[in-house]
Amino acid sequence: MRVPPRLFSGSLLRMALLASVVSMAGGAVSAVAQEAAKVLEAEEATTLKIEPPQAQWGYIRGGFGSGGTRIFDGVTGKMKGLVETSKSSDMAIDPAGKFYYVSESIWTKGDRGTRQDMVSVYDTTDMKLLAEITMPGRLIIGGRKQNFIISDDGKTGFVYNFDPASSVNVIDLVKRKFVTDIDLPGCASLMPNPGVGFSALCSDGSIATVAVNGSKSSVTRSASFFAASVDPIFDNYTYDQSKAEAVMVSYTGLVYQVKVSATPTVSAPWSLQVAAGLRPGDTKPLDVNWFPGGTQPMALNRKTGLLYVLMHIGEFWSQKQAGTEVWEIDVAAKKVLGRHPLEKPAVNIEVTQSAEPLLFLSEDEGGNARVIDAKTWESKHEIKRAGGGIINTFFPR
């Protein structure tokens, strides 16, 4: 039978066309695949490293009950990384910039089980856990800079313990071993004391100085210089390693300068408000004035000697109230150089020790942070959900 030529020819044509389309499609797919292979290469998941601590960085803790310390570059406002600080832990930075130390308490079963207290040691560049230094206990509170301090040479850590009796754990950070626990009744809020050990503020208004020699120690006390229950000094004071000097502020706004040594000396206090041309703060009710307040109400630039204090209008016993102004104070001259209104009230303040100092502030609401140029007072960055907690900066040596 003859196949009708039209049908035959039509069928052949279809087959030829199909072959051609398939061929073309195959070529196109191949081209796309080749193109795709060129652009979208298979990836390996990796982990980045981070620079060691930088002077322009701010370390912002999470608020009460939350963990993590976010690191922000004050120049760019960008997040650089996160230090693994557990809930209510305390963080300190190795003065040489090699380690982050976290004094923390964790339990074997989440919030119950066996309690474990330790100083965890992290490398500052790969952020990996290097060691856990077991210790007998620590105060669980968070939000305090002076509960975990490191000696100026970076070799010894001091951890405040309260269970509910006061003591201090001495940690050898070189051997990464707990050394001893020193009873320190009625005292807290630690400061390093170079070549001696550490000092602390006490409920009788004195400074206790603890000379530490290995596992042995001896405690001496200064004369009483402040009224601990009448006009308390804020726990979160500043300590200047370069001068071995602490600058402290009381609830009424008195500034105390403590020269740290085997026998610390305290300068005569002076009033922040008087330094600003106002009347001094008073403890009397209904005496409305400017008062210092917040959780971390003050910061000190070690190079310029300028102190920054969060101030608010109110009555006495408003010590936790957020600051609506930052007062810029020349400590040596005992003079307020400027009063700088804040866009939003803040509870924590810290200043970088970089060549161009930047102020980091934790605002009162939303866990937001703000970065302000400490020379021009220009707001550089508003960082949402930064953490809202206390702030550390790194002091390069």
DSSP string, 237-250: -EEETTTTEEEEEB
Which residues lie closer than 8 Å to 78 by C-beta, 6 or more apart?
Answer: 72
Q: Does residue 163 belong to the site contacting another protein (CB under 8 A)?
A: yes
Residue 103 or 352 having the CB closest to another protein: 103
Residue 4 or 285 having the CB closest to another protein: 285
Q: Does residue 164 belong to the site contacting another protein (CB under 8 A)?
A: yes
| Contact range with another protein by CB under 8 A, out of 38-46, 142-150, 299-307, 350-358 | 142-150
SS3 36: helix
Instruction: Report the distance separating Cα 347 and Cα 341, nearest Å.
Output: 14
Residue 109 or 216 having the CB closest to another protein: 109
Q: Does residue 285 belong to the site contacting another protein (CB under 8 A)?
A: yes
Q: According to CB under 8 A, which one of 54, 103, 151, 189 is a site residue for another protein?
A: 189
Q: Does residue 214 belong to the site contacting another protein (CB under 8 A)?
A: no
Instruction: Give start and end residues of each alpha helix (H) in the chain.
Output: 5-39, 272-275
Q: Does residue 220 belong to the site contacting another protein (CB under 8 A)?
A: no
Q: According to CB under 8 A, which one of 55, 75, 141, 179 is a site residue for another protein?
A: 141
Structure tokens at 175: 């051997």
| Contact range with another protein by CB under 8 A, out of 31-39, 72-80, 253-261, 309-317 | 309-317
Residue 122 or 158 having the CB closest to another protein: 158
Q: In the sheet where 177-183 sits, what is the strand order?
A: 148-150, 156-162, 166-172, 177-183
Q: Does residue 257 belong to the site contacting another protein (CB under 8 A)?
A: no
Least spacing, CB of residue 192 vs another protein, in Å: 17
φ, ψ dihedrals at 117, nearest 5°: -110, 135
Instruction: Report the distance separating Cα 206 and Cα 201, nearest Å.
Output: 6
Chain residues 60-99 in contact with another protein, contact rule CB under 8 A: 65, 88
Instruction: Determine the Cα angle at 326 with ends 323 and 331, to 5°.
Output: 125
Q: Is 285 exposed, middle or buried (0-12, 13-18, 19+ CB in 10 A)?
A: exposed
DSSP state of 368: -
Residue 67 or 143 having the CB closest to another protein: 143
Q: Does residue 105 belong to the site contacting another protein (CB under 8 A)?
A: yes
Residue 56 or 189 having the CB closest to another protein: 189
Q: Does residue 155 belong to the site contacting another protein (CB under 8 A)?
A: no
Instruction: Determine the Cα angle at 339 with ends 335 and 343, to 5°.
Output: 155
| Contact range with another protein by CB under 8 A, out of 55-63, 125-133, 210-218, 310-318 | 310-318
Strand 254-259 to 265-266 pairing: antiparallel
Instruction: Report the distance separating Cα 273 and Cα 277, nearest Å.
Output: 6
SS3 18: helix
Least spacing, CB of residue 147 vs another protein, in Å: 8
Q: Does residue 315 belong to the site contacting another protein (CB under 8 A)?
A: yes
Least spacing, CB of residue 258 vs another protein, in Å: 14
Q: Does residue 140 belong to the site contacting another protein (CB under 8 A)?
A: yes
Residue with tokens 């106002």: 278
Q: Does residue 200 belong to the site contacting another protein (CB under 8 A)?
A: yes
Chain residues 11-50 in contact with another protein, contact rule CB under 8 A: none
Coarse DSSP helix, strand, coil percentages of the chain, rounded to the nearest 5 percent? 10, 45, 45
Residue 56 or 146 having the CB closest to another protein: 146
Instruction: Report the distance separating Cα 352 and Cα 337, nearest Å.
Output: 19
Q: According to CB under 8 A, which one of 72, 100, 122, 160 is a site residue for another protein?
A: 160
Structure tokens at 30: 């191949």
Q: Does residue 108 belong to the site contacting another protein (CB under 8 A)?
A: no
Q: Which residues bind another protein (CB under 8 A)?
A: 65, 88, 105, 107, 111-112, 115, 139-141, 143-144, 147, 160, 162-167, 183, 185-189, 200-204, 228-229, 232-235, 285-286, 314-320
